[in-house]
Amino acid sequence: MLFRVFSKNELKNLYDILAVNHIVGPVSKGCNKNSTALYDFDFVYDFEELQLEYSATIHSLKRFILPAKETLCSFTLQKNNWQKHVELNAYKPIVYFGLHACDINALNKLDKVLAGKIYPDPYYAAKRNNMFIIGVGCTPQPFCFCHSMGADSVLHGFDMFLTDLGDSYFAEILSARAFECLSGITCREPGKSEHQRFLEVAQEKMKRFTCHVDTTDLTKILDLEFQADVWREWGEKCLSCGTCANVCPTCYCYGVEENVDLDMRHAAKTRHLYSCNLIDFAEVAGGHNFRPHSHDRLKYRYYHKHRGFVEAFEESLCVGCGRCGNACLANITVPEVIASVRGKEGYHG
């Protein structure tokens, strides 16, 4: 890894170099009813729209790499033969400017499933290979527990990562193309004082975490508490709406539909993202539903994140972004659910 520092005035020049591509970044989306500023990832058309000091985005990046609905292939009947047309839906490189460490870690986790060696997903991989990622340091919010999940800093999966030192940015550079971009602006190697400031910023960030999740032996505790009453209690609150999976950066479950047009000459295979909390998620042919109760579905979402994925990859599938808790109309949050399974009340450490 290489390091550089550059003045904040140079950020616009960096943006202009990259703006020959599409740019996606955090932009303002107004305020909520409490006048709290809202942000979300969207296409950026002007440098002034880019809000690098954003708190958190409502949604993750998922709509750009795992769209809610995606045509996987289409078919046309020609002279009694079906012609198949596969479209990976990745047309141009996209610059993702301003991702927090948790969201980059989420992509790294998705890669393990969707871009792994055994069953790579070509639609996901095509979009993933077209990403140029600039990370940016964040300020922990009251709902962030990424530190507990080991996702508050990131070591790979980005091209460049920027840390705000006050008047300048400290850039960690991981790719040759990021290094090339920086050659177009005024930057230099960091000195001793900037190394020191970089470490101070990291320490200041640590002090700002107020939300913690005790993950000690969590997989074993989940095994022990599989039949615990708390799952029923949370299940009674859950509306089975699937919002948590919609906003989650690491939920990737999907369904595939095949539809034939009324003219019987065109057909399409379509993928749509799904949620394990939805009532028919585990329904199979013949109408049997393996998880007819909301508490079973909610429980399995937690077991996938904190038990099954850990067994497969030795890490949790949750990055602690807190989006699911913020979006849940029933106020179901990961820290509270896990604290209750551990037999603790409350979660603020």
- Site of interaction with ligand SF4 (CB under 6 A): 238-244, 247-250, 277, 298, 305, 318-324, 328-330, 332, 334
Closest alpha carbon to 238 in 336, 136, 113:
336
* Minimum distance, C-beta of residue 40 to ligand SF4, in the bound complex (Å): 14
Query: Cα 47 to chain center, whole Å?
Result: 23
A 10 A CB-CB count for 207 gives 8
Closest CB to ligand SF4 among 130 and 294? 294
Instruction: List, edge to edge, every strand of the sheet that includes 266-273.
Output: 81-86, 69-78, 266-273, 254-260
What is the C-alpha to C-alpha distance for residues 228 and 299, in angstroms, rounded to an integer? 10
Q: Which residue is it, tokens 């603790």?
A: 344
Q: Which is nearer to ligand SF4, 131 or 149 (CB)?
A: 149
**Nearer to ligand SF4 by C-beta: 94 or 238?**
238
Least Å distance, CB 129 to ligand SF4, is 23
Residue number, 267 or 330, with CB nearest to ligand SF4? 330
Residue 165 · residue 198 · CB < 8 Å:
yes
State the nearest-atom distance from the C-beta of 63 to ligand SF4, in Å: 14
Nearest distance in Å: CB 26, ligand SF4: 16
Q: How far is the CB of 247 from ligand SF4 (least distance, A)?
A: 6
| Closest by CA position to 167, among listed 54, 51, 6 | 6
Q: Do 219 and 314 form a contact (C-beta atoms < 8 A)?
A: no
3-state SS class at 145: coil
**Owner of token pair 């609150």:** 237
157 or 249: CB nearest ligand SF4: 249
Closer CB to ligand SF4, 52 or 330, in the complex: 330
The helix (run of H) or strand (run of E) holding residue 260 is strand 254-260
Closest distance of CB 46 from ligand SF4, Å: 30
Cβ proximity to ligand SF4: between 99 and 171 the closer is 99
Name residue 79's amino acid. K
CB of 332 to ligand SF4, least distance (A): 4
Distance in angstroms (rounded) separating the CA atoms of residues 90 and 113: 19
Residues 133 and 96: beta-carbon distance below 8 Å: yes
Instruction: Between 24 and 334, name the residue whose CB sits nearer to ligand SF4.
Output: 334
Tokens encoding 16: 């202009």
CB of 101 to ligand SF4, least distance (A): 13
Whether residue 11 contacts residue 181, with contact meaning beta carbons closer than 8 Å, is answered with: no
Smallest gap from residue 297 Cβ to ligand SF4 (A): 8
Tell me how far apart the alpha carbons of residues 6 and 275 are, in angstroms, rounded to a whole number.
Answer: 43
Rank residues 102 and 165 by Cβ distance to ligand SF4 and give the closer one.
Answer: 102
Could you tell me the sign of the dihedral formed by the alpha carbons of 180, 54, 209, 312, in that order?
A: negative
- Coil, strand, or helix at residue 261? coil
